[in-house]
């Protein structure tokens, strides 16, 4: 029997079909809690403020198509943003601020003429050491601009010791934030948000809640964003075939270079998309600055390091509360293990252990390495340190008990790849702006290595160093002049080319050349030929 369908029913059915994607998206909208964590703060939100923030979260999810496009940019860029914030010692929660500022659009321009990912005006950009001129605009470079934003945020946080105040100061300036907050929140670890709280922070909370939700991870990209450090003079056109992409592709992801030219004043981060399907490609030669001043060092100054200084019951160094490392409570790892297992043994939370030792979530605890259970210092007891082959900024910071962020800022080093053997790093005083880091000749730091014997290369459990371009392999003691010997190394779990290179005193590029590897990807159980020195 034929049934008649009323026009009203048809209209309702069509309406549901039309708006079903929106209904589906709204069903996944995260809800604003009454309490959450931001940086090292506990944020308590009253009901009126919660409804206001929820309205902003709902608005971000309202258009499913637009949200998906933005989520794809989030998944593409945020790993780099998070890395740079972490390296600078800034809470990674600030990664949601770049979404709020520009929606991760490289050449975004505001009505007040703020430009780029982090929306810097030219004066502020230059204040945080970004290059902005007719050739280069680093506000449009996700790596450089995030480094600049991190410097700005840390400067804002200094007078408050409160990251919420630092965030608001990002919008209204340090002077404006001081007038607005006074000293109300200085050093406070709990912030109560109500309807009268500053709008910029409430807007930030909406972005944090919206984009840390699992829904965002449903966005899929065709590849991942790769970064390579290049020092010119060269051009995107010349780089394109070596990276296996087109010139137009490089221009799309590198809008910071106005005409596609890369100058020779320093290395620049060039970005491109690597498809998920691996493909061979030629490696891009990495130039290093060669104009660093070299200074002589007397033989008397070249001696085995007295750091780290261990005091207390050294026989019980692997037990909690038994030793101090550089006059800071610490412990020695008895075996290689996970952060989770080690933090349980030490008796402090894993997140705190990572923060105290500048570690990433994926880092392992290395046997024999000293770790801190109280905060490291902003200055070391020693004045300077001569960098040896195989050392990293992280290993040096652990050696002297100095915060990684402090070590970087004192020497104006933002990238691990800027580190070179022979550099003389400041451990107490800030290096003047524009002053190059002096170096000692290789003949001098070899004497240090000879004095240290087999202890010249420190263990390194910090995963942020894995992508370092290692151009300075460990130098053998003058007394060890054995002929080269090829060995076969079987890749173990947790190893990478950098760590293997450290073990045998060779570079990553040499291992790739000997084994005809197209990239840095290796597998557990893979056999590698090492032309051991």
Average pLDDT taken over every residue of the chain: 79
Sign of dihedral through CA atoms 315, 319, 322, 323? positive
Q: Which of 135, 124, 427, 128 lies closest to 256 in space, CA to CA?
A: 135
Task: Give the Cβ contact number of residue 1 at 10 Å.
Answer: 2
Give dist(CA 243, CA 114) in Å, integer: 32
Mean pLDDT of 272-298: 42
Sign of dihedral through CA atoms 256, 262, 263, 269? positive
Integer Rg of the chain from CA: 26
> Residue 369: pLDDT above 70?
yes
Phi and psi based region of residue 60 (left: phi greater than 0; alpha: psi -120 to 50; beta: remaining): alpha
Q: What is the pTM of this model?
A: 0.51
State pLDDT tens for residues 142-194.
Answer: 999 999 999 999 999 999 999 999 999 999 999 999 999 999 999 999 999 99
Q: How far is CA 53 from CA 37, 96, 99, 210, in A?
A: 15, 15, 16, 10
Residue 516's pLDDT is 86
Q: Which of 96, 117, 119, 120 lies closest to 105 in space, CA to CA?
A: 117
* CATH number at 25-131+141-218: 1.10.530
Cα Dmax for the chain: 106
| Whether 403 contacts 358, CB under 8 Å | yes
Q: Is 338 helix (H, G, I), strand (E, B) or coil?
A: strand
State pLDDT tens for residues 160-173.
Answer: 999 999 999 999 99
> Residue 510: pLDDT above 50?
yes
Q: How far is CA 530 from CA 22, 315, 394, 491, in A?
A: 57, 37, 26, 12
Domains 25-131+141-218 and 223-275 share a fold: no
The conformation of residue 118, written as its DSSP 8-state character, comes to T
Structure tokens, 136: 């280069």
State pLDDT tens for residues 198-234.
Answer: 999 999 999 999 998 765 654 445 568 888 888 888 9
Fold classified for 485-532: Membrane-bound Lytic Murein Transglycosylase D; Chain A (3.10.350)
Sign of dihedral through CA atoms 398, 399, 403, 404? negative
Give dist(CA 357, CA 351) in Å, integer: 10
Residue 325's pLDDT is 93
| Better pLDDT: 17 or 51 | 51
Mean pLDDT of 98-106: 93
> Residue 462: pLDDT above 70?
no
| Confidence grade of residue 465 (pLDDT, cut at 50, 70, 90) | very low
Phi and psi at residue 378, in whole multiples of 5°? -90, -10
* CATH number at 223-275: 3.10.350
Q: Is 273 helix (H, G, I), strand (E, B) or coil?
A: strand
Q: Give the residue extent of every domain in the chain.
A: 25-131+141-218, 223-275, 485-532
Least confident of 16-20, 116-120, 471-475: 471-475
Strand partners, 257: 136
| Whether 495 contacts 526, CB under 8 Å | no
| Whether 427 contacts 326, CB under 8 Å | no
């Amino acid at each position: 029997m034929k049934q008649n369908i009323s026009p009203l029913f048809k209209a309702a059915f069509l309406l549901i079909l039309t708006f079903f994607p929106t209904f589906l998206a709204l069903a996944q909208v995260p809800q604003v809690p009454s309490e959450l964590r931001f940086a090292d703060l506990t944020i308590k939100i009253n009901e009126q403020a919660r409804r206001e923030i929820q309205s902003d979260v709902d608005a971000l999810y309202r258009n499913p198509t637009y949200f998906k496009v933005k989520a794809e940019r989030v998944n593409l860029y945020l790993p780099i943003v998070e890395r740079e914030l972490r390296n600078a010692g800034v809470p990674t929660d600030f990664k949601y601020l770049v979404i709020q500022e520009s929606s991760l659009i490289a050449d975004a321009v505001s009505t007040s003429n703020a430009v780029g990912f982090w929306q810097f005006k030219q004066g502020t950009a230059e204040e945080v050491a970004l290059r902005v001129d007719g050739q280069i605009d680093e506000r449009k470079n996700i790596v450089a601009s995030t480094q600049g934003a991190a410097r700005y945020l840390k400067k804002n946080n200094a007078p408050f010791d409160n990251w919420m105040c630092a965030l608001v100061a990002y919008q209204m300036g340090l002077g404006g934030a001081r007038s607005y907050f006074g000293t109300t929140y200085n050093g406070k670890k709990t912030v109560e948000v109500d309807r009268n709280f500053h709008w910029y922070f409430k807007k930030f909370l909406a972005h944090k809640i919206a984009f840390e939700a699992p829904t965002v991870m449903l966005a899929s990209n065709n590849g991942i964003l790769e970064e390579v450090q290049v020092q010119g003079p060269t051009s995107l056109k010349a780089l394109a075939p070596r990276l296996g992409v087109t010139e137009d592709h490089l221009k799309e992801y590198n809008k910071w270079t106005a005409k596609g030219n890369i100058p020779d004043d320093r290395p620049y981060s060039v970005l491109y998309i690597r498809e998920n399907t691996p493909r061979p490609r030629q490696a891009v030669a990495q130039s290093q600055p060669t104009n660093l001043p070299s200074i002589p060092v007397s033989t008397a100054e070249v001696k085995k390091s007295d750091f780290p200084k261990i005091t207390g019951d050294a026989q019980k160094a692997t037990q909690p509360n038994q030793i101090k490392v550089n006059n800071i409570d610490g412990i020695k790892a008895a075996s290689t293990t996970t952060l989770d297992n080690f933090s349980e043994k030490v008796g402090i939370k894993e997140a705190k252990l990572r923060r105290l030792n500048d570690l990433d979530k994926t880092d392992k605890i290395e046997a024999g390495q000293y770790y801190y259970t109280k905060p490291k210092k902003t200055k070391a007891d020693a004045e300077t340190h001569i960098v040896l082959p195989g050392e990293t900024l992280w290993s040096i910071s652990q050696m002297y008990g100095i915060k990684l962020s402090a070590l970087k800022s004192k020497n104006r080093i933002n990238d691990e790849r800027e580190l070179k053997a022979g550099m003389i790093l400041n451990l107490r005083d800030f290096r003047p702006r524009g002053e190059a880091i002096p170096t000692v000749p290789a003949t001098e730091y070899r004497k240090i290595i000879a004095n240290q014997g087999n202890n010249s290369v420190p263990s390194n459990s910090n995963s942020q160093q894995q992508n370092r371009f290692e151009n300075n392999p460990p130098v053998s003691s003058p007394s060890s002049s054995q002929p080269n010997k090829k060995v076969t190394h079987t890749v173990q779990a947790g190893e990478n080319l950098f760590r293997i290179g450290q073990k045998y005193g060779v570079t990553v590029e040499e291992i790739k050349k000997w084994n005809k590897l197209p990239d840095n990807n290796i597998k557990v159980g893979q056999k590698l030929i090492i032309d051991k020195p």
